[in-house]
């Protein structure tokens, strides 16, 4: 699990990075990391050997989209591999210039009711409090904020948003997000949490943060005390690839878990990064080991400059099929599409309901075996089925796939037990 140990044999990790000679106390200092962000095409060129034509494109892109990478996160890149999955997520490339995609793919602006406050669902709101992140993902859905921010960043904007919350007692759940709220100056984060907490009908406060992934040294004792002061809180983080689950990230999540903060994770399905079942299963297992529950698995939104990272949504269904029943349910999140135009999150899952009739449903299990589930009082105890119609009609209870021997073993065992009686 640790990149620190893996990096002796693999071409990524701090030990093989340009920062290998930096003292531990500097590397582990969030201030040092922020002072040494990789943030220009020229730096990228010297670190990754960017070609001239690509450089020209990056110089143009710099005016359009923000760009920064913490040395910690950069060290996770395999610099020898131009298709490296971490690199695809964080390093800008000329393909972003195609212009495909929307500025605001989820139409959040249409549901904005106060500075930073998006009220789309009946009982919960999104509260965007900054447009700043320590590193900028190329697939971010709020790139529009990189140029002109919708975030509630001043005291008066925060107060205006909180006044809306006070006036709307149907709202009981606030997701504080950004940008990354945990990059805020402590006094500002303290103020926001205190104000939101002071609204009597707010039952849940969640924070969305990618800092456990991008900059795990962020979780200092001071920040942990601040979070503890405003608990109970929930934190949703955002790991996309198994290599992001490093020793440092694990330590950050451990600190949060010890504070009693439940940790959920959302993963975005990204072409060339995690679009295969083995990678996703490995990621979700690693997350469970560090007490982070895979919560949502998202189809990549149609945001401007990220078309090259999108897959077909059926790829997500295929991956979900490879998870459900094949590993612990704790490692099986919901695969969701955030509907364009502000339709909200919609589950897009494999279909396990094959057919239905009054009093019965026909179900498919993870192996492809079909079963009928009968409502109370309508079980006929009928003979084995020949077709799905027989299941739906209640003439049978199951159809078995070929080569699933254990069902036949179970039947034989039952038959032997019945004979003995």
Binding site for ligand SF4 (CB under 6 A): 133, 136-137, 140, 142, 178-180, 210
Active-site option among 253, 338, 360, 390: 338
Nearest residue (CB) to ligand SF4, 213 versus 233: 213
Active-site option among 87, 88, 138, 142: 142
Nearest residue (CB) to ligand SF4, 120 versus 210: 210
DSSP at 382: P
Least spacing, CB of residue 63 vs ligand SF4, in Å: 17
Active-site option among 109, 121, 407, 409: 121
Query: Using CA atoms in the order 347, 351, 353, 356, what is the torsion angle rounded to 10 degrees?
Result: 90
Radius of gyration of the chain (CA): 25
- 338 assigned to active site: yes
Q: Could you give the count of Cα atoms lying within 13 Å of 130 in the half-sphere of its Cβ?
A: 17
User: Nearest to residue 248, comparing CAs of 33, 9, 11, 21?
Assistant: 33
Active-site option among 14, 72, 73, 140: 140
Q: How far is the C-alpha of 36 from the C-alpha of 212, rounded, in Å?
A: 18
Least spacing, CB of residue 91 vs ligand SF4, in Å: 13
**Measuring CA to CA, how many Å separate 324 from each of 56, 333, 348?**
46, 9, 14
- 416 assigned to active site: no
Q: How far is the C-alpha of 139 from the C-alpha of 314, rounded, in Å?
A: 19
* Strands of 23-177, DSSP E: 112-114, 117-121, 124-128, 173-177
Active-site option among 120, 144, 255, 281: 120
Contacts made by residues 378-382, CB under 8 angstroms, sequence distance 24+ = none
Least spacing, CB of residue 353 vs ligand SF4, in Å: 34
Active-site option among 84, 180, 301, 390: 301
**Measuring CA to CA, how many Å separate 191 from each of 159, 186, 223, 269?**
10, 9, 13, 35
Least spacing, CB of residue 398 vs ligand SF4, in Å: 45
Least spacing, CB of residue 135 vs ligand SF4, in Å: 7
Q: Could you give the count of Cα atoms lying within 13 Å of 364 in the half-sphere of its Cβ?
A: 13
Q: Residue 190 corresponds to which tokens in the numbers above?
A: 């303290």
* Strands of 194-348, DSSP E: 204-208, 234-237, 263-269, 292-299, 334-339, 344-347
Least spacing, CB of residue 279 vs ligand SF4, in Å: 19
Nearest residue (CB) to ligand SF4, 266 versus 396: 266
Nearest residue (CB) to ligand SF4, 136 versus 297: 136
Q: How far is the C-alpha of 302 from the C-alpha of 141, rounded, in Å?
A: 8
Q: Give the residue at shortest CB distance from ligand SF4.
A: 140
- 140 assigned to active site: yes
Least spacing, CB of residue 274 vs ligand SF4, in Å: 14
Query: Using CA atoms in the order 220, 221, 227, 228, what is the torsion angle rounded to 10 degrees?
Result: 160
- 301 assigned to active site: yes
Nearest residue (CB) to ligand SF4, 108 versus 390: 108
Nearest residue (CB) to ligand SF4, 150 versus 180: 180
Nearest residue (CB) to ligand SF4, 58 versus 133: 133
- 10 assigned to active site: no
- 253 assigned to active site: no
Query: Using CA atoms in the order 83, 89, 93, 94, what is the torsion angle rounded to 10 degrees?
Result: 100
Active-site option among 14, 66, 104, 137: 137
Active site members: 120-121, 124, 133, 137, 140, 142, 301, 338, 345
């Amino acid at each position: 699990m640790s990149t620190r140990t893996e990096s002796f044999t693999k071409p990524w990790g701090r030990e093989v990075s340009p920062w290998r000679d930096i003292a531990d106390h500097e590397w582990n200092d969030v201030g040092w990391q922020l002072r040494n962000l990789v943030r220009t095409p020229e730096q990228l060129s010297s670190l990754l050997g960017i070609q001239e034509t690509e450089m020209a494109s990056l110089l143009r892109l710099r005016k359009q989209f923000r760009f920064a990478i913490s040395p910690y996160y950069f060290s996770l890149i395999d610099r020898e591999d131009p298709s490296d999955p971490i690199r695809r997520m964080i390093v800008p490339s000329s393909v972003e210039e195609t212009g495909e995609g929307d500025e605001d793919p989820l139409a959040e602006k249409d549901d904005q009711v106060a500075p930073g406050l998006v009220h789309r669902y009946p009982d919960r709101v999104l509260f965007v409090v900054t447009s700043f992140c320590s590193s900028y993902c190329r697939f971010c859905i709020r790139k529009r904020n990189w140029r002109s921010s919708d975030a509630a960043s001043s005291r008066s904007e925060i107060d205006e948003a909180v006044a809306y919350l006070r006036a709307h007692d149907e709202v009981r759940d606030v997701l504080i997000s950004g940008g990354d709220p945990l990059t805020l100056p402590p006094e500002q984060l303290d103020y926001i949490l205190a104000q939101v907490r002071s609204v009597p009908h707010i039952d849940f406060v969640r924070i969305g943060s990618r800092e456990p992934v991008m900059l795990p040294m962020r979780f200092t004792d001071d920040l942990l005390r601040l979070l503890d002061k405003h608990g109970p809180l929930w934190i949703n983080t955002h790991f996309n690839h198994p290599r992001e689950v490093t020793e440092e990230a694990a330590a950050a999540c451990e600190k949060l878990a010890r504070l009693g903060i439940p940790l959920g994770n959302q993963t975005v399905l990204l072409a060339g990064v995690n679009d295969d079942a083995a990678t996703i299963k490995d990621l979700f297992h690693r997350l469970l080991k560090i007490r982070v529950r895979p919560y949502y698995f998202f189809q990549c939104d149609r945001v401007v400059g990220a078309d090259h990272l999108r897959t077909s949504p059926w790829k997500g269904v295929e991956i979900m099929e490879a998870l459900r029943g094949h590993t612990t349910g704790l490692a099986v999140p919901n695969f969701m599409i955030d509907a364009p135009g502000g339709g909200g999150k919609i589950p897009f899952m494999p279909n396990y309901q094959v057919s239905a009739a009054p009093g019965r449903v026909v179900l498919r299990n993870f192996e492809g075996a079909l079963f009928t589930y009968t409502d109370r009082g309508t079980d006929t105890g009928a003979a084995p089925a020949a077709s799905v119609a027989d299941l739906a009609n209640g003439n049978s209870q199951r159809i078995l796939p070929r080569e699933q021997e254990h069902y036949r073993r179970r039947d034989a065992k039952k038959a032997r037990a019945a004979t003995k009686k």
